[in-house]
Each structure stands twice: as C-alpha cells, then as structure tokens.
Amino acid sequence: MFRVALLIISILGFQAAPLNAAPPMDAGTKTEMIGDPIALDVVPSSITLDGPRASQQLLVTARYADGSLRDLTRFSVFHLAESGLLSVSDAGLVTGRRGGAMDLEVQVGEQRVRVPVTIRNADAAQPISFRREVMPVLSAAGCSDIRCHGAPSGKNGFRLSLWGSDPDLDYVQLTRDGFGRRTNAFSPSHSLLLMKPLTHVAHAGGKRFAYNSHFYKLLRDWQREGLRDDSQAGGLKSLEIVPAQRVLHAPARWQQLAVRAIYDDGRTADVTRLTAFSSTDLAVAHVDRSGLVEFNRQGEVAILCRFLGKMTSVRLLHIAPPADDYRWPDPPQNNYVDTHVFAKLKLLHIAPS
C-alpha cells in the first residue's frame, strides 16, 4: 500500500525539480534580503572533503533582532585565502581541487564567519560507483521517474526501475539491452546514455542536463572506466536534511537545502547535488535541482528529497506581510482545538472568520 501511495503522489502531486535557478541579484533585492543581521550561522561549521569528487553544500543563515531567520546562502560572499585549493559556487557548494587545509571566510554585510576546510585524497584514483553515483543521476535527472523510463512498461522501448529501486535490472538495461547501444565504453560521447539527455539525438524527454555538467561527467567517466557494477557497495542507512523545517518571514522567500547520506558501512557524504527534489504544491513553492526552494506566495509546502530509494520530506512555511488593515481580534479560546487553530491563524496573519 505504501508503494501504491507513492505512485499516486508522484503522478498527481509531485513535480520533478527543474534545472538550477537563482534568486535575482539586483542591488535592491540584495539590500532588502540581507537587511541588518545580528549574527550568522554557517552549517557545517567545519568541512572535510575526502576524495576526488567530494563536495559540501554550505548553508548560511542570518539571525535578526526580532528572532527571525533568513537563508542568505545565495547572497553571501565567499573569500578564499588560496584560490587553487578549493572552489565555492554561487550556490555555496564547496569542492576541492588539491589536498591541503585553509579557512573559508563567509561574509554577509558586516558579518563574517570562518569555516575551516580540510581536503584529502583530491588526486586519488576513485572509480565511479554505479550504485552510489550513476543510479542517483538517473533519478535526479528524471530518467527513472514514473512519467519517464521508470513507468511499469518503460518509455519508447527503454525501461528503468522506478526511482532506481532495482539496480541489477537497470545495469542490464543500460549495458546489455537494446543491443548494447545505450552505453559505449570506447566512445562515451556517442552513447545514447549521453546523446539522448543532451538532445544530440531526438529525445521525447527533452534536455535533462548540460554538457560538461556534474551529471554528464559521472555518466561519461563511468563508461570510460569500463561500465563496472559495484554490487558489493553498502546500502544507504538514512538521509539527513538541513533544515528539517523552517518558517520564512517576508522578505525571505528562498531556502537552500543540504542533504547528507549515512551509509551502512558508517561512511557519510554530502549528496545534495545527487538528490532528486520535488514540491508538493508548485503554486506555493518550487524547488530546483540544486535544492533551492523559492516560494511564489504565502503557504506551507513539503519538499520531498529522494536518494537511493530513501525519501525524506522537509516542511517549509512562508509568511507574507500582513495587510495594512490587519488586526488580530483576539477571540476567546473555548478548548484546546481553538488554541492550536488560533495560533496557526495568528502566525499566518489571518483573522478567524
């Protein structure tokens, strides 16, 4: 019954995350968003990147005198003492370039926070994992969605397991089925696995990722390395999403999410850029592929975060400014139901009818 419910939700409610977007960065928007914070919280407070493809999504949260919080990750300035050691994207994604250690300084307005960063094994030979990297790409790009090749009968002759639930089936489909044309170890750029999502050949699903993107490189290098399956790779124990919930008061209407995977073998890794995100209500808020949530209007929404068959949701609430004539009428509370209902209505600046 749980699987059936998930299928219904996928078909009727959830929509796949679009490609990466960004909030407008004009001077007026930046000034209004930043405001006058009294402190900055940066999560994680220290970073260790272990491996050639390790990454870490930073979350920069500003605290204000009225007790409110705002995600200012996309409005932050990142200062590097040594530019050749690591890189930080505008979205706050930290990736290593070579081994070493340094402090990364995060600045928002007059507030500054230093984050120690250690990079290990940046040049180590680490094969692409079919189970932990290729399978999540197919899910995050929408290939194994129920509306695409994850449908029970597949799509246009190509079938994948729903959301990567059966890696053994998917491995055979990619490497053996279709006369082996879907993958190409000798010339990955000519494989259907890359030409279709890049729309170099006709693809009913349209463009799924960009050339030379992280998704592209993982699929290309996995083929170059000989299409290896790593069936011995440990499974996923749990997912941690930060923040687990948050209330955003206007003008705040963006929230970056960070996803960490905890594997059965004890290893942990930031998997934000390999996670499939979707929103329960696109009229209220949408989420892009990088995990950035943007509210379109006041309301509450659940964001589904899916990785390697595990699904965790976070609840976010955006509160718009009240109308000029709004006044809370302070009605009498007759029972505990009124207490909770009135508390929510007051939070949303809605007077009881």
pLDDT surpasses 80 at 262: yes
Reported as a single tens digit per residue, the pLDDT across 57-106 is 999 999 999 999 999 999 999 999 887 899 999 999 999 999 999 999 99
pLDDT surpasses 60 at 16: no
- The three-class DSSP label of residue 236 is strand
Cβ 131 vs Cβ 61: under 8 Å: no
In this structure, how many other beta carbons lie within 10 angstroms of the beta carbon of residue 127? 12
pLDDT value, residue 177:
85
As a whole number of angstroms, the distance between CA 70 and CA 36 comes to 11
Reported as a single tens digit per residue, the pLDDT across 122-172 is 999 999 999 999 999 999 999 999 889 999 888 888 999 999 999 999 999
Confidence of residue 181 (pLDDT cuts 50, 70, 90): confident
242 contacts: CB under 8 Å, gap ≥ 6: 43, 59, 257, 258, 260
Residue 295, token pair as written in the block: 């509210």
pLDDT value, residue 209:
93
Query: Which residues face 110 on adjacent strands?
Result: none
Which domains does the chain possess? 35-124 (2.60.40.1080), 128-224 (no CATH), 325-353 (no CATH)
pLDDT value, residue 169:
94
pLDDT value, residue 1:
47
As a whole number of angstroms, the distance between CA 49 and CA 61 comes to 22
**Percent of the chain's residues with pLDDT above 70:** 93
Predicted model pTM: 0.88
Query: Which residues face 313 on adjacent strands?
Result: 304
pLDDT value, residue 28:
80
The helix (H) or strand (E) run that includes residue 195 is helix 192-195
Alpha carbon of 10 to those of 197, 312, 317, 322, 327: distances in Å?
21, 14, 22, 34, 40
Alpha carbon of 180 to those of 74, 156, 175, 183, 193: distances in Å?
43, 16, 5, 6, 11
Confidence of residue 14 (pLDDT cuts 50, 70, 90): very low
pLDDT value, residue 323:
87
